Amino acid sequence: MAHSKNQAVSKVAEEAAAQAQKVMTDGAAQARVAMEKNMEQMTKGAESIFKAAEEAADFGRGNVEAFTKAAQTWASGSQDLARQYMALAQGLTEHALEGAKALSSVKSVNEAAELQGKFAKAALEKVVAEGTKLQEASVKLAESAFAPVNARFTVAIEKLAKPLAA
């Protein structure tokens, strides 16, 4: 009887050990599956973070390039406008000098008034004509200088609208 009790105890111990082994094996398999799933999710999350960071860097780089191009265009165009203003000022100065020389040779007040009127009218016409050209050039410069910035603004709006549409 002692022998059969030992056999029964051994059999129960073997069954318990087998069940414990099965629980451990199943638990390890479940833990491995859970870890693999977590690692996959973490990898996807990290990839999306890196992609977002890369997109943000590209967007920032594009902004810097746009502002640099706008500044270069503005600087170059401003120099051209300054040259045009200086040419206008020089032309008006030369015109005034011609008028002064012509006035120095007049013989009467009527002749001086007529000559002065003629020179004033010519100067006014030149200022109006050149002023219109300078205004058009200024508007054109502003449009071309701000075009890269406007393009980046459009890109920004499109990027912001994208998640809303998705």
| CB under 8 A, 24+ apart: contacts of 43-47 | none
Domain count along the chain: 1
CA angle at 28 for the pair 22 and 31, rounded to the nearest 5°: 140
> So what's the pLDDT on residue 16?
80
Residues 6+ apart with CB under 8 A from 141: 73, 74, 77, 78, 80, 81
Name the pLDDT band for 10 (thresholds 50, 70, 90): confident
> So what's the pLDDT on residue 139?
95
pLDDT digits (tens, 9 = 90+) for 94-153: 999 998 898 888 899 999 899 899 999 999 999 999 999 999 999 999 999 999 999 999
Q: Which domain holds residue 99?
A: 2-165
Nearest C-alpha neighbor of 147 from the set 62, 73, 58, 57: 73
pTM, two decimal places:
0.62
